[in-house]
Amino acid sequence: MMHGLVLALGVTTFFSTLLGGIVFLKFKNSPHYFFAFASGSIVAVAFLDLLPEGLKIADEHLISMRAVFLTIIASYSFYNLLQRFFLTHHIHDDANCIHPLGTIGASSLVIHSFFDGAAIGVAFSANFHLGVIVALAVITHDMTDGLNTVVIMIKNGHSERKAWMFLVLDALAPLVGIIVTFLIQLPQTSLVYLIAIFVGEFIYLGASNLPEAREYQSKATTVAMLLGVLMVVILTAFI
């Protein structure tokens, strides 16, 4: 029954990612609201759910807090470098120029989405409550992943057909990540470090979404971000 629920959530991430890509293709003027909402929700999950659970397990297994926080910093730094190297400096506005780094950038998002799915599986391995909260945050965030995948492909001169191909791969990746965690049984001590890695990832993802929302400097984007935080506050209080 547990596996069925987790797989159902994985299927939901598939449709969430597709929706993000469709939003860009059909409604190109309003993606910033999704970035803002996802930013608020995913940072809140990192601090209100993932981090406390990781510290709790670390305490039970006598793992030092310093090791946990060093892992978080290393994870944050890694994702920062990864995003900067593959994505930030390689978007071109000339639609007639097909740049190969568009494919590399989209591929890196597919790999990242795989780890989003793994985060769901790892969270459920820790406990049911954590798994549900992380899954909901990933579902929200993956909408922006789908949007980013299409943006990177289109702005690097690739066709909509190729952008759709990578969008589908990006949508399938979290489901694959979940299935992999089903096949590999991890000890509790390993969970501590994996959770810390995902805390660092979620903090970076939230921070990297904010500039996209800030470009528009509207009250609506601020409200969207706060709604994302509020959603997680309510969920963590009642689930």
- Ordered per-residue pLDDT tens for the chain, 239 residues: 567 888 888 899 999 888 888 877 776 666 677 777 778 888 888 898 889 888 988 998 889 999 999 999 999 998 888 767 655 444 444 444 454 555 766 787 788 788 888 889 888 888 888 888 889 888 887 887 787 788 777 766 777 888 889 999 999 999 999 999 888 877 778 888 988 998 998 888 787 766 555 555 677 788 888 888 888 888 777 65
Residue 106 corresponds to which tokens in the numbers above? 């989209």
Helix/strand/coil for 1: coil
Q: Give the rounded distance of the alpha carbon of 69 from its chain centre.
A: 20
Which pLDDT belongs to residue 210? 60
Which pLDDT belongs to residue 95? 44
Contact partners, residue 179, CB within 8 Å, separation at least 6: 7, 10, 117
Which pLDDT belongs to residue 77? 93
SS3 for 155-192 is HCCCCHHHHHHHHHHHHHHHHHHHHHHHHCCCCHHHHH
Residue 178 corresponds to which tokens in the numbers above? 């979940």
Domain boundaries in the chain? Answer: 2-24+32-238
**Residue 55 amino acid letter:** L
Residues 192 and 175: their CA atoms lie apart, in Å, by 22
Helix/strand/coil for 99: coil
Closest-CA residue to 109 (of 67, 58, 171, 154): 171
Q: What is the DSSP string of 195-228?
A: HHHHHHHHHHHHHHHHHHHHTT--HHHHHHHHHH
Enter the pTM of the model. Answer: 0.69
Which pLDDT belongs to residue 92? 42
130, 132, 137, 143 alpha-carbon torsion, rounded to 10°: 150
